[in-house]
Structure 1
Amino acid sequence: MTIRTATIEDLETVSAVEAECFPPAEAATKEEFEKRLTHYGKHFWLMFDGDKLIAFVDGFVTDEADLTDEMYEKAEMHRENGDWQMIFGVNTIPAYRKKGYAGELIKRAIADAREQGRKGLVLTCKDRLIPYYAKFGFVNEGVSESVHGNVVWNQMRLTF
């Protein structure tokens, strides 16, 4: 398995993995990924099995302390020197789940954010995933204001 950051050339494969991992109401569109890759491709961590993209984690950097729904749609809000690394998506295609690959990508995102001098990382997740992210040091801050995909999201933060 190899891990690298993304470029615009990864648009098709990233979009395909997202569509395989999330229901349509929650999945980012190809157009949204095009903007994201253009603005913050260095904040996409991609994992490959040979030439096959099997998992990725993405999110931009900001000085805002809380993750908002607006951030998903406005890639131009990215600030390379911001304080907080946001995590918008953790994706692993079904055939590769439960093997620790997403965890490896999360650890890499954490290590990179620490090395880049961030204050920490912020993500939102559904109730069932709170214990999973807690294993990496994320602390549940309660129900988020997010209404993304018409589901309830919890905001979790890892502070360095």
Structure 2
Amino acid sequence: MEITSVKMTDLPQLLTIEKAGFSAAEAGSEAAYRERIEKLAATFLVARDGDEILGFIVGPAVKARYIEDEMFAQTPTNLDHGGHQLVFTLAVSPLARHQKIGSQLLTALEKVARSAQRESMALTCLARLVPFYERNGYHNQGVADSSHAGETWYNLEKKLE
């Protein structure tokens, strides 16, 4: 397995993994993923085994400390340096789960974030995923100010300083 930057030709496999991991209300659309590939190439990483995508991680590097719902409607542009690395999506193919690919993707994006001198990495997740992120060094900062998909989300953060 190798972790590389995303390519537009990855889109069909990305969407298949997205739909397998998220409800229809939670999942990003094809248009949203096209925009993310175009705007966030530096912070959109893909785990590959040959031509097969095993998983991916994507999010913008911005001034905001936490994800805001409007960021899902219009993808922000990455800051060159500083700010906070947010994670919109971490998703692993159902066929590749329980192989630590999600943790490896988090580590790879953290390396990118540290090289750009980000202050922290942050994401929102459902309660059932909090323990996974805590095992990866993130701290639960409580309920997020989000109504995405009508669910309760939690802010998880990892300081990088």
Determine the structure 2 residue equivalent to 1:41: 41
Aligned to 1:105: 105
How far did 1:7 drift? 2.5
The one-letter amino acid of 2:39's match is: H
Q: Normalising by structure 2, report the TM-score.
A: 0.93
Query: RMSD across aligned C-alpha pairs, in angstroms?
Result: 1.3
> Paired residue for 1:155?
155
1:1-160 correspondence runs (5 A) = 1-160=1-160
Question: Which digits, 9 at most, give the CA deviation of each residue in 1:34-72, with x for residues without a partner?
Answer: 111111112111001221011001101101112111111
* Aligned structure 1 segments of 4 or more residues deviating by more than 6 angstroms: none
In the TM superposition, residue 12 of structure 1 has moved relative to its aligned partner by 2.1
Q: Return the letter of the residue paired with 2:120.
A: G
Q: TM (normalized to structure 1)?
A: 0.94
Q: Hey, what's the Cα distance between the residues in 2 that align with 1:76 and 1:153?
A: 20
* 1:4-58 superposed Cα distances (whole Å, 9 cap, x missing partner): 0113232222222211221111000000001111111121110012210110011
Unpaired runs of at least 5, structure 2 = none
Amino acid at match of 1:60: P
CA distance in 1, matches of 2:11, 2:95: 21
> What are the ranges of 5 or more consecutive residues in structure 1 without an aligned counterpart?
none
Tell me if the contact between 2:82 and 2:116 (Cα under 8 Å) persists in the aligned partners.
no
CA distance in 2, matches of 1:63, 1:91: 24
